Amino acid sequence: MQSSALFLNESGYELDFGLKNGINFINGILNKPFQENTFEENRKKISIKDYNQEELFSFYTLDLVKDEIISLEYHLKQSGTFIKKAKSLQNGEWKEISLDNELILRCGSWRRGFDRYRLMDKKTFYLDDIYKFEILESKDISGVHSIKGKNFSIPRGGRFYTIKATQKKDIFRLNKIVEEIDLLKFIKKYSKLECFEKFGYGGISFGSVYSGQREGKLWYFNRVNGQIILVLDDAGSWRIENIDGVDILIVEIKEHDPIIFTNIGSTLYSGRISKATIKSWNAYNKIAFDALKNLLY
């Protein structure tokens, strides 16, 4: 069966990286001394290093993060490398920023972001077994357009994509160092009445905890006339789950998003859970995106 990955490159032409290019790549290595580090494709010598750096596909989109307009770039290299870049508009200039500051639980270890992709068919790729991206639509949008009575042009080769992004399962993310303490000792520490105010979640305590306990209800306390009183003995729940070999404390305060805690070494971290979801993105190639970005100045 012939396997191919068919995409549209930034000029709008079909780019077939599958059986043909794969065979050329392998034959180019096998039929020449390895030291040459080149292969022949369409009668043109290309170094393996240059080939690996070439783009298989890229797309660009805009997002709003904390009331700030962010441009996001996604690059798939021939080598299988995945690169995500983020830029913010600052004083009329797009400056690169870092959004991937969280540690993600992947295959039993905490890692920062994704750096490899896997092609599945003509218009589908994966990041690990967590994200699935499908290109549902690709069309030429070059020409003159109008937004609120203002005309602008997108040069020849500008393309629009509809991309379906599926997060297949919940993702556990860490973003804050709490303190140097073991997870179980942390639970025991903040089950004491005199410590509840130090927990940082408005009078929440783990309640009465016995040795070896791995789940329970949250208690809510308040200070009245200098005394600590129990207001609610069911303010939410907590539990320790073993996920991919990692013990994670999940704290669910009523009417709040879950908070997670876990150890990396002797350091306790906190973070969040991003739930599995399916989203549809409007995205563009670089030609179209550069034209659209100019409208934001």
Pairing state between β 236-243 and 246-253: antiparallel
Dihedral sign for Cα 149, 154, 156, 162, please: negative
In a 10 Å sphere around its CB, with 0-12 CB exposed, 13-18 middle and 19+ buried, how is residue 201 labelled? Answer: middle
Under 8 Å CB-to-CB from 260, ≥6 apart: which residues?
A: 172, 174, 248, 249, 250, 251, 270, 271, 272, 273
Question: What separation in angstroms does the CA of 229 have from each of 137, 224, 226, 234, 236?
Answer: 59, 7, 10, 14, 17
Residue 53 confidence (pLDDT)? 64
CA–CA distance, 214 with 194 (Å, rounded to integer): 22
What's the per-residue H, E or C state across the chain?
CCCCCEEECCCCCEEECCHHHHHHHHHHHHCCCHHHCEEEECCEEEEHHHHHHCEEEEEEEEEEECCEEEEEEEEEECCCEEEEEEEEEECCEEEEECCCCCEEEECCEEEECCCECEEEECCEEEECCCEEEEEEEEEECCEEEEECCEEEEECCCCEEEEEEEEECCCEEEEEEEEEECCHHHHHHHCCCHHHHHHCCCCCEECCCCCCCCCEEECEEEEEECCEEEEEECCCEEEEEEEECCEEEEEEEECCCCCEEEEEECCEEEEEEEECCEEEEEEEECHHHHHHHHHHHC
Residue 146 confidence (pLDDT)? 83
Whose tokens are 């993060």? That residue is: 65
pLDDT tens for the chain, 297 residues: list them: 333 233 333 333 333 333 333 333 333 333 333 333 333 444 455 555 565 568 889 999 988 777 788 999 999 998 889 999 999 988 888 899 987 789 999 989 999 888 899 988 878 999 988 999 999 999 999 999 887 778 889 999 999 999 999 999 999 999 999 999 999 999 988 886 655 555 556 678 888 888 889 999 988 887 778 777 888 889 899 999 999 999 999 999 888 899 999 999 999 999 999 999 999 999 999 999 999 887 776
The separation between the first and the last C-alpha atoms of the chain, rounded to the nearest angstrom, is: 50
**Is the whole model's pTM more than 0.85, yes or no?**
no
Q: What are the domain boundaries of the chain?
A: 53-169+277-296, 173-274
Under 8 Å CB-to-CB from 48, ≥6 apart: which residues?
A: 29, 37, 38, 39
Q: What type of residue sits at position 191?
A: S
